[in-house]
Structure 1
Amino acid sequence: MRLDNTATGVFVIAPTPFTDAGALDLDSAARMTDAFLEAGANGITLLGVMGEAPKLDAQEALEVTGVVLRRVAGRVPVIVGVSAPGFAAMRALADGAMDAGAAGVMIAPAPGLRGDDAVLAYLRQASAAVGDAPWVLQDYPQLTGVHLSAAMVAALAGEDPRLVMLKAEDHPGLDKLTAIRARLGARLSIMGGNGGIFLPQEVERGADGIMTGYAFPEMLGRVFTLVRAGERDAAHDLFDLHLPLIRYELQPGLGLAVRKHVLMRRGWIASAALRSPGPKLTAETIAEIEVILARLGARDPASRL
């Protein structure tokens, strides 16, 4: 299965499960993958920001990728983030992931690039490094500090048929999403991000789906389906129930720890641990999460723990 521009729906960004001691927890990776598939995920993305990719060595990255790919067994496309400081590491991970059965890879501009020419030159070189792999352009300037205009995205899409998807995470980015869709039509699959906080509006603006790690991916799928069916009020009503948890997950520096706690509470992973360096949730924070979860479950029975 190779990723293409017809991809649609919910692509769940998977965390990398660790034990409390910081070792890879491959059993949890397998169980989590099963849970994502049961929740209706249309695709899975590994080794993104949420996957703590910089904390893994090359062998660990391929181990996690292999476990997930074997569990998925071709049922949905799996995208592997390959962004790295150097192209040699990027090439090695891309080759290993594609050989193991990945559908495509994801690339973000390197932090610190200045000027359109430098950004485009870097992305051209990075895409060459991943060989013939279909690739996803991650536009996340809040993290990289690199701005991509609609014209730059269109230029890349116009010259490289292997670019099949945009992960649109500029913030604010709804007007930019509209501008890209107007320029490119269906040339690229466009996935929203940013924790899902603008999911209904992104789909209404023409996004093909969402790529995020929100701990209740079933909700994302339900909202997406409702928007596509024209049931706008029902979509927004359901989405609004989850906004308190989405907001809590979006706290800079702490959000992944919150997500892992909720996934642990759901029984999908055994430990909420982040690999060091990383924050640990205080008792007060955990208590706040539990209140949010209880209130959510009371209002959305499908999300009751």
Structure 2
Amino acid sequence: MLNETAKGVFTIAVTPFLPDGAIDWDSVDRMVDFYIEAGATGLTILGMMGEAGKLTAEESVALVRRVVARASVPVVVGVSAPGFAAMHALSEASMETGAAGVMVAPPGSLRSDDQIEGYYRQVGAALGPVPFVLQDFPLATGVQIPTKVIVRIIEDVPTCVMLKHEDWPGLEKISALRAASAAGGRRISILCGNGGLYLLEEILRGADGAMTGFGYPEMMSRVVAAVATDEGRARDIFDAYMPMIRYEAQPGLGLAIRKHTLASRGVIAHPTLRQPGASLSDAARAEVDALALRQAAKLRALDLD
């Protein structure tokens, strides 16, 4: 079961599709193996990057079963939904298949601090004993969750065991949360998203690792492993990947870029996004490929090819 000690890299997984939009199950298996070989200590599926909103309820459960059966690491399942009935149903089905926990993002209708805190109290009640991740991603949800509210949720809802930190900018939030736990508050795991854009600084501020879907997940495991013993080495690794991280960070195109990268690397058979979804122009694909070539040269110089 997921708990407050989780650390490392929980890679956010894509959902592979065939050109006709059907789930590509062979690519699902290959992708799970790839992420784990790249250093993932956990996987997160059915998140925003997994195009969860485009799947039927039956497809969602089938995907959870397939990934959990294949994976040798804990699996977290995104169960965000407009209502608690659907959230509870997917959570229950996921835990029955062997998932480690679930992740919940706030609905965009929440505006006040009291509404946000009240919502996550209701999440805790709806999910019962299931441990969950609070996804703090204002860029996508439109919900700003102040640090003081997260602290109150941590204290009031014991099944909230992890924060997926994707506030941007958000380094001060990490420092404040760690200061609160150092002062006697409950400490939970903090794993960070945003494509790894601020990963190095986030770890130095007290984060426990990454939970994101950068197309080169080995970057995250390499940085997390190196930063504890050789910060200079960690910075060199991070710098080698930074041009690609920057390019991926384009709003609206990030998933298409990641799927192109994964297809180019032979991880998934097709870069298909289920409709509606963005697609890359020939010029964009050429730019990604050029960045990949330069990145490979930099990694060879670091003996990391």
TM-score, normalization: structure 1? Answer: 0.96
Partner residue, 2:63: 64
Query: Which residue number in structure 2 is paired with residue 45 of structure 1?
Result: 44
1:30 corresponding residue in structure 2 = 29
Q: Counterpart in 1 of 2:140?
A: 143
Residue 276 of structure 1 deviates from its aligned partner by 0.1
Q: Please list every run of 5 or more consecutive structure 2 residues that lacks an aligned counterpart in the other structure.
A: none
Contact 1:82 1:94 in 2 (8 A): yes
| 1:303 Cα offset (Å) | 6.8
1:16 and 2:15 equivalent? yes
How do residues 90-109 of structure 1 correspond to structure 2 at under 5 angstroms?
A: 90-109=87-106
**2:223 aligns to what?**
223
Q: List per-residue Cα deviations over 1:242-277 (Å, max 9, x = no partner).
A: 111111111111100000010111111111000000
Among candidates 76, 83, 86, match of residue 86 of structure 1: 83
Alignment of 1:57-206 (within 5 A): 57-72=56-71, 75-185=72-182, 187-206=187-206
CA distance in 2, matches of 1:117, 1:160: 14
Amino acid at match of 1:78: V
The CA deviation string for residues 75-100 of structure 1, in whole angstroms up to 9 with x for no partner, is 31100000011111111110010001
Aligned length: 300
Answer whether contact 1:17 1:26 (CA < 8 A) is retained.
yes
Paired residues for 1:251-262 under 5 Å: 251-262=250-261
Amino acid at match of 2:227: V
SS in 2 for 1:212: coil
Shift of 1:126: 2.0
Distance in 1, matches of 2:17 and 2:148, equals: 40
Shift of 1:184: 2.0
Amino acid of the residue matched to residue 237 of structure 2? Answer: L
Aligned to 2:280: 281
List alignment gaps of at least 5 residues for structure 1: none
- CA offset at residue 131 of structure 1? 2.3
Cα distance in structure 1, aligned partners of 2:100 and 2:36: 16
Alignment correspondent of 1:248: 247
TM superposition score normalised by structure 2? 0.96
Distance of 1:227 and 1:286 partners within structure 2:
32
Q: How far apart in 2 are the matches of 1:82 and 1:228? A: 33
Using the TM superposition, give the Cα deviation of residue 127 of structure 1 relative to its aligned residue in structure 2, in angstroms.
Answer: 2.4
Matched letter for residue 28 of structure 1? S
> Contact 1:69/1:100 (CA < 8 Å) preserved in 2?
yes
C-alpha displacement of 1:5 = 0.7
CA contact (8 A) 1:107 1:138 kept: yes
Instruction: Tell me how large the CA RMSD over aligned residues is.
Output: 1.2
Separation in 2, partners of 1:136, 1:296: 33
Matched letter for residue 24 of structure 2: D
8 Å contact kept, 2:75–2:100: yes
| Counterpart AA for 2:82 | P
Q: Given residue 151 of structure 1, which amino acid in structure 2 is its aligned partner? A: K
1:296 corresponds in structure 2 to 295
Give, in whole Å, the separation in 1 of the partners of 2:242 and 2:21.
31
Q: Tell me the distance in 2 between the aligned counterparts of 1:211 and 1:271.
A: 23
Could you tell me how far apart the structure 1 residues matched to 2:101 and 2:304 are? 31
Q: Is the 8 A contact 1:296 1:303 kept in 2?
A: no
Check conservation: 2:121, 2:156, Cα contact below 8 A.
no
Runs of 4+ in structure 1 deviating by more than 2 angstroms, as ranges, are 301-304
